[in-house]
C-alpha cells in the first residue's frame, strides 16, 4: 500500500523549509521533496544582511541549513527526487518524480524560480565556461580576472560587489541612463564607492563570444546604435527570474508571467493546493517573505486536511442521512433557526444526524458547496455523500415536509 503524507512540500528553499517545519510541528506526516541540497537560491547567497535577527548578517548556506535542521528536528522527511508531473485533481493528490510517486492530502508548491536568460548568441554554448548566474557559486573561478555583470537590480548590484572580492575588475552593464538602476539606493551608493566596479550605461549585450571560454561580449548602445566588442573573462547574468510553474499549467490559475495566483492564506485555485515563495505572484521576493509564505501555507494546509477528514467522516461516509446547517454565529435569528433543526434531529435521531457548520470560518465547505454568506442559514440534506435537497426556508413545517419527501 502506497504511503500517504498529510502534507507534501515541493521544493526545499526557505518557503518549503518553513512549510515543512510548521507542518511537521503540527504533527502532520510531512515530506519535503527537493532534487538537490536544501536551501534553494538562498543557499547560493553568501552574504545575507537583511534577515531579521542577524544584525551583522549571516550566510545563505548557514541560514538555510539551520532551517532544514529545524524542520528535520520536528520529523519532516526529506525526499531527494526530481518532480516531473503532478495530478492535483486526484484524491489524494499525486506527485510523480523520477524515482517514485508520492501521495499527499495537501500540497505546498514551493519550487521557486530560476534565473532569466539573456537569450543572446553564445550564452548557451558558454554556460559554465564563463557564463554564470551565481556569483557565490563561481566567483572564486575568476580570481585576478575581469568579469561583467548584466543587470541593475538588487541581485545584480549585490553580486557585483561580491565578485569584486575575487576579480580584478567588475563591469556592470546597465540598460538605463547613467545613474539610474533598479536596485535599492543604499546598495547602489555603496557600490559606487567600490573602486573595482566599472559602469557601462545605455547598453545591452548582443552576443557572448569565445570558443572554449568567454573571451568578449558584444555591446550595443541603445541610444546611438553603436556596437563594440568588450574583452572579458566571465559574464554574470542577473536580469530577473522565471517561475518554475510549467507542470502547473492547466491545474491551477497562473498570471500572465506564469506566477501562481494565491489568496492571503496561500491557497491556489485548486482545492488542497497551496503555493509559497518566489513561485507565487507577490510584491517582494526575499528570504523573509518566502519563510512567511511557507508558514502560512502549512497552517492553512493543516486546517484544510483536518476539515476534509472531519467532513468525510461525519457527512460523506455517514450511514444515515445527514442534515448540514450552515450558519453565521453573529446572526441571532439565523442561529435560532439552526436551533429548530437541532430539536428536529433530536426528535428524529434514528432517521438523521446533524452537522452544524460556521460558514464564516469553514471556507472549504463553503467553497465546495457554493454557500453564500449573505444567504444564511442554509440547510443541505446529504444521502450517501451527495446533496439531495437544499433548503433556505427553515422552519418546523418545512422540516416535517422533508420527512414526507423521503
Are 402 and 381 in contact by the 8 Å Cβ rule? The answer is yes
Confidence of residue 153 (pLDDT cuts 50, 70, 90): very high
Closest to 353 in 3D by CA, of 390, 392, 313? 313
Please pick, among 47, 81, 87, 134, the residue that the annotation labels catalytic.
134
What's the rounded Cα separation, in Å, for the pair 56 and 316? 55
What's the rounded Cα separation, in Å, for the pair 60 and 38? 11
Closest to 9 in 3D by CA, of 378, 337, 191, 22? 22
What's the pLDDT tens digit per position in 29-77? 999 999 999 998 888 777 777 889 988 878 889 999 999 999 999 999 9
Please pick, among 6, 138, 154, 278, the residue that the annotation labels catalytic.
138
Are 316 and 308 in contact by the 8 Å Cβ rule? The answer is no
> Residue 204 has what pLDDT?
97
> Residue 45 has what pLDDT?
73
> Residue 276 has what pLDDT?
98
Q: Which of 134-138, 316-320, 387-391 has the lowest mean pLDDT?
A: 134-138
CA 5 to the chain's CA centroid:
19
* pLDDT surpassing 80 at residue 1: no
What's the rounded Cα separation, in Å, for the pair 368 and 317? 17
- The whole-chain average pLDDT of the chain stands at 94
Strand partners, 374: none
Please pick, among 69, 137, 168, 392, the residue that the annotation labels catalytic.
137
What's the rounded Cα separation, in Å, for the pair 367 and 369? 6
What's the pLDDT tens digit per position in 161-177? 999 999 999 999 999 99
> Residue 2 has what pLDDT?
66
Q: What are residue 168's phi and psi, to 5 degrees?
A: -70, -40
Mean pLDDT of 233-262: 95
* pLDDT surpassing 80 at residue 261: yes
> Residue 208 has what pLDDT?
97
Mean pLDDT of 188-212: 96
- Cis peptide preceding 39, ω within 30 of 0: no
Mean pLDDT of 306-328: 95
Instruction: Go through the chain and tell me how many residues it has.
Output: 406
Active-site residue flag, 137: yes
Active-site residue flag, 278: no
Buried b (16+ CB within 10 A) or exposed e, 89-115: eeebbbbebeeeebbbbbbbbbbbbeb
Pairing of strands 101-109, 273-275: parallel
Distances (CA, A) of 296 to 18, 250, 262, 291: 9, 24, 12, 9
Q: In what order do the strands lie in the sheet with 234-237?
A: 131-132, 234-237, 146-150, 169-173, 197-200
What's the pLDDT tens digit per position in 123-132? 999 998 999 9
Mean pLDDT of 64-93: 96
Q: Which of 123-137, 201-215, 260-274 has the lowest mean pLDDT?
A: 123-137
Amino acid at each position: 500500500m502506497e504511503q500517504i503524507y498529510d502534507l507534501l512540500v515541493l521544493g526545499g528553499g526557505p518557503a518549503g523549509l518553513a512549510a515543512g517545519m510548521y507542518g511537521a510541528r503540527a504533527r502532520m506526516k510531512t515530506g519535503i521533496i527537493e532534487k538537490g541540497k536544501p536551501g534553494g537560491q538562498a543557499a547560493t547567497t553568501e552574504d545575507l544582511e537583511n534577515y531579521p535577527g542577524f544584525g551583522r548578517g549571516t550566510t545563505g548556506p548557514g541560514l538555510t541549513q539551520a532551517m532544514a535542521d529545524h524542520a528535520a528536528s520536528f520529523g519532516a522527511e526529506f525526499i531527494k527526487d526530481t518532480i516531473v508531473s503532478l495530478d492535483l485533481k486526484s484524491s489524494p493528490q499525486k506527485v510523480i518524480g523520477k524515482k517514485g510517486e508520492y501521495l499527499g492530502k495537501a500540497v505546498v508548491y514551493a519550487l521557486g524560480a530560476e534565473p532569466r536568460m539573456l537569450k543572446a548568441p553564445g550564452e548557451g554554448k558558454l554556460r559554465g565556461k564563463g557564463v554564470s548566474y551565481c556569483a557565490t557559486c563561481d566567483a572564486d573561478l575568476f580570481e585576478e580576472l575581469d568579469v561583467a555583470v548584466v543587470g541593475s537590480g538588487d541581485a545584480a548590484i549585490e553580486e557585483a560587489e561580491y565578485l569584486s572580492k575575487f576579480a580584478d575588475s567588475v563591469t556592470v552593464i546597465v540598460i538605463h541612463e547613467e545613474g539610474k538602476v533598479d536596485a535599492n539606493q543604499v546598495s547602489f551608493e555603496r557600490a559606487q564607492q567600490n573602486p573595482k566596479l566599472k559602469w557601462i550605461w545605455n547598453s545591452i549585450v548582443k552576443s557572448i563570444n569565445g570558443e572554449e571560454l568567454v573571451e568578449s561580449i558584444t555591446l550595443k548602445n541603445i541610444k546611438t546604435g553603436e556596437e563594440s566588442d568588450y574583452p572579458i573573462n566571465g559574464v554574470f547574468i542577473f536580469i530577473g527570474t522565471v517561475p518554475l510553474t510549467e507542470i502547473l499549467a492547466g491545474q491551477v490559475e497562473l498570471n500572465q508571467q506564469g506566477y501562481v495566483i494565491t489568496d492571503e492564506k496561500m491557497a491556489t485555485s485548486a482545492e488542497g493546493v497551496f503555493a509559497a515563495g518566489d513561485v507565487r505572484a507577490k510584491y517582494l521576493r526575499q528570504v523573509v517573505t518566502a519563510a512567511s509564505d511557507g508558514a502560512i501555507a502549512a497552517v492553512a494546509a493543516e486546517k484544510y486536511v483536518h476539515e476534509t477528514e472531519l467532513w468525510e467522516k461525519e457527512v460523506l461516509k455517514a450511514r444515515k442521512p445527514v442534515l448540514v446547517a450552515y450558519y453565521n454565529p453573529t446572526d441571532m435569528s439565523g442561529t435560532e433557526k439552526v436551533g429548530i433543526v437541532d430539536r428536529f434531529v433530536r426528535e428524529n435521531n434514528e432517521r438523521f444526524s446533524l452537522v452544524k457548520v460556521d460558514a464564516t470560518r469553514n471556507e472549504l465547505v463553503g467553497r465546495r458547496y457554493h454557500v453564500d454568506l449573505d444567504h444564511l442559514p442554509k440547510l443541505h440534506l446529504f444521502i450517501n455523500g451527495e446533496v439531495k435537497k437544499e433548503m433556505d426556508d427553515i422552519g418546523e413545517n418545512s422540516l416535517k415536509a422533508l420527512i414526507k419527501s423521503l
